Structure 1
């Protein structure tokens, strides 16, 4: 199994570290960095064992034939990871959370 992140997702994750700190979700930059690193590690190590669902048409702007899985990181936040899967490769196309995309699922 291999997990590959699109350039857009890599940029999003990099920005997310800063956003989490600037918006005071975390009091220390190191904590925000570790949160994102933990999310990526969890994706890398468990995506194959997660129950994947077919992504709704709304998400076709990130690619056709997408699937998604969920990662609950706290009582208030669940992350949705959208990907293509082929030949044992997960190509991550988009990551969003329940605060900004749950109405489309």
Structure 2
């Protein structure tokens, strides 16, 4: 089972509008599609994609993480907890965030 913390869901919802407002995409639907691809990657790969232990500096984000390279410039880091094959997505950041320097 895969669950997302409410804060992560809120972030992804906000991301759609930020991407459109900041003109990363010319159409709102393109922003939705971009975020949907991130969510699809998580849902289809979190159980099999090789995860890494989160560095001590970012432990408050989650114990483990996987990454998704959405394009040549941006990598998304998905933090989670896993207990008995139940996954809780606890945070998500991208390679442009200050915290990404620890990954």
Report if TM-score (shorter chain) is over 0.5: yes
Secondary structure of the residue that 1:48 maps to in structure 2? coil
CA deviation after TM superposition for structure 1 residue 102, in Å: 2.0
Secondary structure of the residue that 2:23 maps to in structure 1? coil
Q: Which among 49, 73, 89 is matched to residue 70 of structure 2?
A: 73
CA deviation after TM superposition for structure 1 residue 62, in Å: 3.1
Counterpart of 1:14 in structure 2 is 13
Question: 2:45, 2:35 → 1: CA distance?
Answer: 15
Counterpart of 2:100 in structure 1 is 102
Aligned residues: 102
Unaligned runs of 5+ in 2: none
Which 4+ runs in 1 deviate beyond 3 A?
A: none
For 1:39-70, what per-residue CA distance to the aligned partner results, in whole angstroms no more than 9, with x for missing partners?
1011101111111110011222235xx10001
CA RMSD of aligned residues (A): 1.0
Unaligned runs of 5+ in 1: none
CA deviation after TM superposition for structure 1 residue 22, in Å: 0.6
